[in-house]
Amino acid sequence: MTNTSPARRRFLIGLLASVSLLPLVGRLRFDEGGFVERDGWILRRSDLS
């Protein structure tokens, strides 16, 4: 997760800027299987670390 190139960084900054308009409800739900649900996303716990 390091090594972000300037181009990629610009891409991510652009993305983050565009989400500022999205409503964020911040729902969080854990389950036993090593997954976590956040804002509707079904993620691996490691996705959030």
| 3 contributes a contact to other proteins by CB under 8 A | yes
Which x/- pattern, by CB under 8 A, does the window 10-49 give for other proteins?
Answer: -xx--xx-xx--x-xx-x-----x-x-xxxxxxxx-xxxx
Question: Token digits for 26?
Answer: 């911040």
How far apart, in whole angstroms, are the C-alpha atoms of residue 22 and residue 39? 11
Strands (E), the chain: 28-30, 35-38, 41-44
**Which positions touch other proteins (CB under 8 A)?**
1, 3-5, 8, 11-12, 15-16, 18-19, 22, 24-25, 27, 33, 35, 37-44, 46-49
